[in-house]
Structure 1
Amino acid sequence: MLRTRLEITSADFLLSSGKTKVIYNFLKNNPLLAVSTGLLLLFSAVVFLFTEWSYQSIEMLSLWVRSHFGYFYLYLGLGCVLLLLGIAVSPWGKLKLGKPNEKPEHSTWAWASMLYSTGMGAGILLRAVQEPIFMQQNPPFASKTTPEILALEFTFYQWGFTAWAFYGLFALIIGHALFAKKQKVLVSSSIPQKFKGTKRANAVDILAIITTVFGLIAAIGLGTAQITGGLNHVFQPEFGVTITLLLAILISAIAFVSVWLGVDKGIKRISKFNILVTLLLLAFVFVNSNMGDILLSFGKASWYYLMDFVPMSIAVGRYNPGIEFLTDWTFYYWAFWLAWAPFTGIFIARISRGRTLRQMLLGVLIIPSLGTFFWFSVFGTSAFEIIESWGSYNNEFGSVFSSIFIFFGEYPFSGLLNGITILLLVSFLVTSVDSAVFVLSMFTDKGNPNPQKKHRLIWSIFILLATLALILLGNAKPDIDVLTAVQKLLIITSLPFAFFMVFMATVFLSSFRKKG
């Protein structure tokens, strides 16, 4: 009997040792995965052990970045828009991502759906009512137009061309490296050949991975918080952290199935569903509101946005809202878009095979921007009229978590609308997670555009565990807003990318000039 037990114990030990050896060899042969996950685990441990100190440090560094480099972000944003427009209308715009006679890999509808679901997604539901109302109640600067049109104009500015230009620049450079130069799907593919394989190149890819992970867990945390808020608003009971955790598990599970199936069978189908339901929701609000006022507001705000775009982009003269307003809003948004640019831009590049640079760049800048402008026009204008009908405003639309549900309370079938919104929040979060996991898997699978499924499994599990830990930490420390801290952490990690984008664009233009 003793011998049998010893034999079983020895067998278990050997089996365990064998598995450990396989994992060790896997990580040893994949330093990018080993280092990035190791750093993320180390950071998580520090935050858990020194939560208050971590929060204060992140808050201080975030404010320092925005106060010292905020205007640099503004100039960079304007530069990216002008650069992409210049390349799109130039002879370079005819260059194709792929073979000369190759047709686009995805239809325009599918391409635009994946583009929008990945780049914006749940954010338009979070801010649909809250942001236009805030801008109306707190005008950023004096204007010759009405507070309502100015509110829409400034909302367009923060969600329009500049955000998509950050994404588009990465898509342009990575897409050209992937399909024209036949390089790997890595951020380091955009740097000169002499740096390839060096520690500097690896550092760029590690930073991209870490920033993407922080962005993801912040998005899932905020999204699940809004869904929980929606459930509380609809059903009245106070759903707590258990429901939030279950939602995170549900979203991660669906995203894992989607990314496991791949771009065509998973990500594309959910993205098309998202856009279809979003359009139906938009159409319902539009036809049940003052359509004439909405169209007029959309046209006026879009015109003012185009006319004021350059002075707003450099905050000059009367277009300067002041450092406090810029720090809380525009600098924050620009840093957030920058933080998401590597992951979103690479995904856009991955799905743009067969398109010319002109088609991709103009599509990235114009299609989602116009869609977002009309979305905010419909919800913003309708919310303005609701407040006018109330006769007074007591900050009913002040919370990003509940504003859209309160808004739908003024419409027929409000219960159905709230249910659809909750479904959309889940679905948009799924497409953000699955596309990000796909990009992370490409990174750690040595730039493979169709990464092995074991990498998709690893990152799906890692993201889920990190998200659950973040939610639990946030509830364990009610006096510390952990989710907000993670968002602000993105502002800090986006600063190196802001400088890297200047370097990346310079190298790219230099190589194009040599060819020309």
Structure 2
Amino acid sequence: MRHLKNPLLSVSIGIIFLFTLLVFFATESSYETIETASVWVRNYFGFFYLYLGLGCVLFLLAIAFSPFGKIKLGKKNSKPEHSLWAWTAMLYSAGMGSGILLRAVQEPVFMQQHPPYPSGLQPEILALEFTFYQWGFTAWAFYGLFAMVVGYALYVKKKKVRVSSTIEDTISNPLAKNGIDIMTIITTVFGLIAAIGLGTTQINGGLNHFFTTDFGVTTTLLLAVLISGFAFYSAWQGVNKGIKIISKVNILITTLLLLFIFLMSDIFGILIAFATATFNYLIDFVPMSLAYGNYDPGITFLTDWTFYYWAFWLAWAPFTGIFIARISKGRTLRQLLLGVLIIPSLGTFFWFSVFGTSAFELIESWGSYNNEFGNVFSSIFVFFENYPMATLLNFTTIFLLISFLVTSVDSAVFVLSMFTDHGKKNPSKKHRLIWAVFILMATMSLLLLGNAKPDIDVLTAVQKLLIVTSLPFALFMVYMAGAFVWEVGFKNKKPN
């Protein structure tokens, strides 16, 4: 009964439970409603997502290099709570993880075969550049904005771990603050279940490819149960005993996998492609972010790719940003922002350079391409068939998919528990159990939604759902950034 007196918990759970019931019992009509809403959002707010992404990157760079970058999250003489290695491992595992395995081969090859716009660059370099664009600074800027604002509220202003704490000096109405926190929770849950839905479907695709059979949606649902169970155990153990250890293991194994493919491929060619694509990405970043002139890939391409990615990163921004803030005590805003923007972006660029360039070389050696890497859920497993120890590589990838999803879910469970347990830094384990259960239920409903029609899949359902659910949060982020500037720049007159 105690939880019923907690409106933030009860209302959020109620909304998620209602959504789950609707999808379970009216799957096809739910999909059609989401589809209609997503078209409306795309038509009226699609380009707003692009402008918001560019604005976030420029805003964070301005803060990092301004005098406010010296503000420390904690006491002036305090040292970072976690080492750079542990900090990077945790933020990367929470922020992307399984996504780079999902798209490692399929996305660069798609961009090579279907260039987003005419360019004087080689198709392979353009493909990598556009892939970098969709996985680079903008994604981490969405995360970094939340990490900065929440970290400042948490460690400088000594406020509770809630998004409403970041704007309570400008909005004091309790109903409005609870509404903001509920919106944050709902956005977080939808972004998370989207990732679990995609990740479990890829694991299922890998098993189907490896055993040449069709396990179907039942196996995917069982995988969701398995991942949620492991994630709950990790979140139950806490940041230091569970999340940090699994994150370090993830990054270590992923690095070994990356190095194996790198050393078994054209090393010089990969390095050249990495350097060239990164240089062009930096040069073209602003016009690409605005889809300006010759850099406009068209509304259909933007809807299928960039709008969807920006909606995905926005949906993940609350819990990832808050989690990054939670593990960033002792760092300055400059260290936090530049670390979040640069370190994981460069790591991701190198990852896609290795897998993308290697895939391009395979296609060239085949003499023709018959869409071997076209299936997003099985492309990386097809890719590994062309390397020694393919069986080991495939099972390692399946292990990483499960492990990365666990670290994403356990981070989210921990953050959601902090939210609903009165903003505590170490929330009640009962809250962690509640959120693990309801995230699992919502994930299962999404997987059913992805099988509502024979011509759709989980990826299609996720694209449409996220474009709708992330819109309110995209609008709120503008206000939140403005409130932060007022807090540190005008209200306090000078940085602490």
The answer, yes or no, to whether TM exceeds 0.5 is yes
Larger C-alpha radius of gyration, 1 or 2? 1
Equivalent residue, structure 2, for 1:485: 461
Counterpart contact for 1:170–1:345, Cα < 8 Å: yes
Counterpart contact for 2:3–2:9, Cα < 8 Å: no
Equivalent residue, structure 1, for 2:63: 87
1:27 and 2:4 are equivalent in the alignment: yes
CA distance in 2, matches of 1:312, 1:404: 27
CA distance in 1, matches of 2:48, 2:449: 34
Equivalent residue, structure 2, for 1:157: 133
TM-score (norm 2): 0.96
Equivalent residue, structure 2, for 1:417: 393
Structure 1: tracts of 5 or more residues without a match: 1-22
Counterpart contact for 2:94–2:411, Cα < 8 Å: yes
Tell me: CA distance 1:285–1:482, structure 2 relative to 1, closer, same or farther (3 Å).
Answer: closer
Pairing of 1:460-471 with structure 2 (within 5 A): 460-471=436-447
Tell me: CA distance 1:248–1:84, structure 2 relative to 1, closer, same or farther (3 Å).
Answer: same
Equivalent residue, structure 2, for 1:69: 45
Tell me: CA distance 1:507–1:408, structure 2 relative to 1, closer, same or farther (3 Å).
Answer: same
1:254-284 deviation digits (Å, cap 9, x = unpaired): 1111000000000000000000000000000
Counterpart contact for 2:417–2:428, Cα < 8 Å: yes
1:374 and 2:350 are equivalent in the alignment: yes
Counterpart contact for 2:73–2:152, Cα < 8 Å: yes
CA distance in 2, matches of 1:384, 1:483: 24
User: Which runs of structure 1 show a deviation greater than 6 angstroms over 4 or more consecutive aligned residues?
Assistant: none
Tell me: CA distance 1:331–1:472, structure 2 relative to 1, closer, same or farther (3 Å).
Answer: closer
1:488 Cα deviation from its structure 2 partner: 2.1
Counterpart contact for 1:133–1:383, Cα < 8 Å: yes
- Which residue among 417, 420, 425 is the counterpart of 1:441? 417
- Which residue among 244, 249, 269 is the counterpart of 1:293? 269
Pairing of 1:423-434 with structure 2 (within 5 A): 423-434=399-410
Equivalent residue, structure 2, for 1:137: 113
1:206 and 2:182 are equivalent in the alignment: yes
Equivalent residue, structure 2, for 1:6: none
1:316 and 2:292 are equivalent in the alignment: yes
Equivalent residue, structure 1, for 2:319: 343
Pairing of 1:446-457 with structure 2 (within 5 A): 446-457=422-433
Counterpart contact for 1:67–1:327, Cα < 8 Å: no
Equivalent residue, structure 2, for 1:246: 222
Tell me: CA distance 1:454–1:273, structure 2 relative to 1, closer, same or farther (3 Å).
Answer: same
Counterpart contact for 2:450–2:460, Cα < 8 Å: no
Counterpart contact for 1:215–1:487, Cα < 8 Å: no
Greater shift in the superposed pair: 423-432 or 196-205: 196-205
Counterpart contact for 1:149–1:300, Cα < 8 Å: yes
- Helix, strand or coil at the partner of 2:370: coil
Counterpart contact for 2:105–2:356, Cα < 8 Å: yes
Equivalent residue, structure 1, for 2:161: 185
Q: In the comparison of the two structures, how many residue pairs are matched?
A: 492
Structure 2: tracts of 5 or more residues without a match: none
Equivalent residue, structure 2, for 1:228: 204
Equivalent residue, structure 2, for 1:388: 364
TM-score (norm 1): 0.93
Residue type of the alignment partner of 1:408: F
1:379 Cα deviation from its structure 2 partner: 0.3
1:326-379 deviation digits (Å, cap 9, x = unpaired): 111111111111111111111110110000000000000000000000000000
- Helix, strand or coil at the partner of 1:360: helix
Greater shift in the superposed pair: 308-317 or 468-477: 468-477
1:277-303 deviation digits (Å, cap 9, x = unpaired): 000000000000000000000000000
Greater shift in the superposed pair: 60-69 or 391-400: 60-69
Counterpart contact for 1:121–1:428, Cα < 8 Å: yes
CA distance in 2, matches of 1:377, 1:312: 19
Counterpart contact for 2:384–2:393, Cα < 8 Å: yes
1:444 Cα deviation from its structure 2 partner: 0.4
1:149-198 deviation digits (Å, cap 9, x = unpaired): 00000000000001100110011101000000001111111114252352
1:73 Cα deviation from its structure 2 partner: 1.1
CA distance in 2, matches of 1:405, 1:487: 23
CA distance in 2, matches of 1:468, 1:47: 10
1:142 Cα deviation from its structure 2 partner: 1.6
CA distance in 1, matches of 2:224, 2:29: 27
1:499 Cα deviation from its structure 2 partner: 1.1
